[in-house]
């Protein structure tokens, strides 16, 4: 079948007038000999978005290689087949954020699940991803679906899947992703979307599910105090939802926890799938927190709390007189270190032996914390689906702003619960006359100064990622940034307890580390750089670690340029 034939067949079953009109225009132009239209059809129909361990994620538009109602309907029907093959009476809870078509995709999923005989429960309105992840466990259902593209570009949307039961509400991992993908292909190859059974007899959850999440999450503030800590003082802070769905739920949690009334970045408070004030709705990206910093400076805030659009990630900024903006954005590793330290203190105080865990590209600082407190530590592959599955987990994080502080009630990263924990910590420090910056300096003294950095290259074609990784493997560096490589670990065929993965890890003279891997959610190759120093004062340790990171960062840029 030619791309033109595929486009016509797709158009005939497409229930969305917008994407049908897209295809009509492309088909007409291609039939008239338009080369660009022909190339566009090839891009849209050469392949299809694969259902992987992150579910589906891609640009909105018509075609099998885009996110649209046809693809989502096929995914829902395939996932329903998978669930029905696993158990006789499966159930699913479905949530959605504020991106374009998220509500439409969620309702399509609810109708198709119900039509297939799966008990389907739709969350009452657009809500953060952590509420959906919480609902999977709270309701005791077989599975969860969250329609979101998290912090991806504005034109993207996605379809994230969780499993209950033995999976405890974690995201799917292999081989389940492949089994679901096979079931989706069976649907796509055997029927058209208009013939997939649907039913409007699905349930809509009441607000009590949101209230249950709010109560459980606000409760962290009452449980999180370090042993013997002074009662906390509410810290003035600024909050931004980054045009996402975090504000309403976060505000309810903050109120119940007794925190200060936040100064809100009004321009970014309400859900808006166009994300008008940011070029890229990811608090890690340059410029994304500019409005929050300006708002916080005007309000005299002592802290900035930022969520990504579906509120599963947390970004933090603290005052810094040496910065041009007056603010210092903490890295995911710094926040992970502080939250992990609190978790370790609490675990030891209660006589527990819970495990601290982080992805292998996250800072080794958490290993030092676990060693200091005599607690188990576990490295995982990248992706929170792995962190959340660690047995006896007390705390887990990944450097990409993802933190899990309450594994007893949720098994995914949660920016709202992490905010609650961080604000509680800041309040306790304030009661002692100290700041978050003071606590970071103390970490350098107790555990050593850990510094980290990232280098990445964004590609326009995915094939370029494979070429970059192959080039580095074929000519493995003997030094990076002038620092000798002492050992290279290639995960391509598995390494230690890890299965095959496209990761290269270089151990450097002096104990620093460089890891190269493709991004799991964006068209990028990423390099993660970590260094540590235990020598001298806290300031001397910090300076030495950062100098090593600077040298390795320059070397990594050269590595990616080859």
Which residues share a beta bridge with 57? 158
Q: pLDDT, tens digit, for every residue of 349-378?
A: 999 999 999 999 999 999 999 999 999 999
Strand-pair category, 377-380 with 355-359? parallel
Q: Is the pTM of this model over 0.85?
A: yes
Q: Which of 310, 339, 335 is closest to 416 using CA atoms?
A: 310
The DSSP symbol for 431 reads H
Residues 89, 96: contact at Cβ < 8 Å? no
More confident: 225 or 387: 387
pLDDT of residue 22: 95
For the chain, which domains are there? 47-205 (3.40.120.10), 211-330 (3.40.120.10), 448-561 (3.30.310.50)
Catalytic residue numbers read: 150
Whether pLDDT at 166 is above 90: yes
Q: What's the rounded Cα separation, in Å, for the pair 533 and 400?
A: 23
pLDDT of 226 over the 60 cut: no
| 496-543 pLDDT tens trace | 989 899 999 999 999 999 999 998 667 789 999 999 999 999 999 999
Q: What is the pLDDT of residue 293?
A: 98
CB-side neighbour CA atoms (13 Å) of 214: 19
Cross-strand partners of 484: 479
| Phi, psi for residue 505 in degrees, rounded to 5 | -120, 125
pLDDT at 223 (0 to 100): 67
| HSE of 366, CA atoms in CB hemisphere, 13 A | 32
Mean pLDDT of the chain: 95
Query: Which residues lie below 8 Å from residue 458, measured CB to CB, with a gap of 6+?
Result: 522, 523, 524
Predicted confidence band of residue 438 (pLDDT cuts 50, 70, 90) = very high
311 HSE (CA, 13 A, CB side) = 33
- pLDDT computed for residue 222 by the predictor: 80
């Amino acid at each position: 079948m030619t791309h033109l034939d595929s486009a016509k067949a797709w158009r005939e079953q497409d229930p969305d007038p917008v994407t049908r009109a897209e295809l009509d225009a492309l088909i007409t132009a291609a039939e008239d000999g338009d080369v660009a239209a022909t190339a566009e059809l090839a891009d849209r129909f050469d392949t299809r978005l694969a259902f992987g361990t992150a579910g589906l994620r891609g640009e909105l538009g018509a075609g099998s290689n885009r996110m649209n109602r046809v693809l989502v309907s096929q995914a829902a029907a395939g996932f329903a087949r998978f669930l029905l093959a696993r158990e006789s009476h499966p159930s699913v809870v479905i949530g959605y954020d504020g991106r374009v078509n998220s509500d439409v995709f969620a309702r399509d999923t609810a109708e198709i699940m119900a039509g297939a005989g799966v008990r389907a429960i739709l969350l009452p309105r657009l809500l953060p991803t952590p509420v959906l992840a919480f609902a999977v466990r709270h309701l005791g259902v077989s599975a969860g679906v969250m329609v979101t593209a998290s912090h991806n570009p504005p034109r993207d949307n996605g379809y994230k899947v969780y499993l209950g039961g033995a999976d405890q509400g974690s995201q799917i991992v292999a081989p389940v992703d492949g089994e679901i993908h096979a079931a989706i292909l069976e649907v796509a190859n055997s029927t058209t979307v208009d013939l997939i059974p649907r039913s409007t007899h699905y349930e809509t959850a009441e607000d009590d599910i949101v209230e249950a999440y709010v109560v459980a999450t606000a409760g962290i503030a009452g449980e999180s105090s370090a042993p013997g800590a002074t009662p906390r003082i509410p810290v003035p802070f600024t909050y931004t939802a980054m045009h996402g769905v975090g504000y309403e739920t976060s505000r309810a949690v903050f109120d119940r926890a007794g925190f200060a009334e936040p100064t809100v970045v009004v321009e970014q408070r309400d859900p808006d799938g166009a994300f008008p004030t940011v070029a890229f709705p990811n608090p890690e990206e340059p410029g994304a927190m500019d409005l929050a910093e300006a708002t916080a400076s005007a309000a005299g805030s002592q802290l900035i709390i930022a969520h990504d659009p579906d509120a599963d990630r947390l970004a933090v900024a603290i005052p810094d007189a040496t910065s041009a903006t007056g603010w210092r954005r903490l890295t995911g590793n710094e926040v992970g270190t502080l939250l992990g330290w609190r978790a370790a203190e609490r675990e030891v105080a209660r006589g527990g032996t819970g495990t601290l865990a982080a992805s292998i590209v996250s800072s080794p600082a958490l290993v030092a914390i676990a060693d200091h407190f005599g607690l188990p530590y576990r490295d995982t592959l990248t992706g929170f689906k792995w962190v959340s599955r660690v047995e006896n987990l007390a705390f887990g994080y990944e450097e990409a702003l993802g933190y899990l502080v309450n594994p007893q009630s949720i098994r995914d990263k949660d920016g709202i619960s992490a905010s609650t924990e961080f604000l509680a910590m800041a309040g306790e420090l304030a009661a002692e006359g100290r700041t978050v910056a003071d606590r970071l300096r103390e970490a350098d003294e107790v555990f050593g100064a850990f510094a980290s950095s990232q280098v990445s290259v964004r590609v326009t074609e995915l094939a370029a990622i494979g070429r970059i990784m192959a080039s580095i493997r074929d000519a493995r560096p003997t030094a990076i940034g002038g620092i000798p490589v002492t050992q290279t670990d290639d995960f391509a065929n598995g390494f230690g307890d890890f299965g095959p993965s496209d990761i290269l890890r270089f151990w450097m003279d002096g104990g620093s580390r460089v890891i190269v891997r493709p991004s799991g959610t964006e068209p990028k190759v990423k390099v993660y750089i970590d260094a540590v120093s235990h020598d001298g004062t806290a300031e001397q340790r910090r300076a030495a670690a950062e100098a090593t990171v600077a040298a390795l960062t320059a070397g990594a840029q050269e590595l990616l340029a080859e």
